[in-house]
Every structure is written in C-alpha cells, then in structure tokens.
Amino acid sequence: MGPMIPEDIDLQQLTADLKNALGPGEPIGYLRGKSVMRNLLVDMRGFSQLEAEELIDTMETRGFLRFLGDPTERSVAEAHWDISPHA
C-alpha cells in the first residue's frame, strides 16, 4: 500500500495556507502544534485525519515545517514551529 498523499498536492501552497490560517507565533509545542496543523488541514481542505497526519509528516520531512525546539527535552518541548513555504 503506497502513500495516501496524491502527487499533485502543492506542498508549498499548503504550507502557505497553514501559515495564513495560524495566528502569529502559533503553533506552540511539538505534539500540540502537529495536532493543530493536522486539524486545520482537515477543516480547510477536507482531508481525513490520517491523510492530514501524513501530509504534516511529509511537510516536516521536506523542510516546510520545522520545530524550533527539541520534542524530547521538556524545557524546549513548548517551542515554536517555523512554517516556511519557501523550503
């Protein structure tokens, strides 16, 4: 079974849409941030939870989304995300 993400999805545009939908400085926290962004994709684009989760992971892997902290360190687990459509 291959990935559920269609090849024609413009990740750059999707990242820009996420950035525009989020308030300044949002989201905060690694897991909370991923959940917020996943839910936005579900609400804005009608993706399933699983599709949105895969898209967020793909955008993170490709550098469109970058967590500025360390999710394994409690002291920096509440850091911000860098959301860059120009990855």
Mean pLDDT computed over 77-81? 85
Cis peptide bond N-terminal to 27, omega within 30: yes
Note the pTM of the prediction, 2 decimals.
0.86
Q: How many Cβ atoms from other residues are within 10 Å of residue 40's Cβ?
A: 18
User: Rounded mean pLDDT of the chain?
Assistant: 89
The residue with greater pLDDT, 61 or 6, is: 61
pLDDT score for 71: 82
Q: Which residue has the higher pLDDT, 23 or 77?
A: 23
Question: Two tokens at 67?
Answer: 């967590």
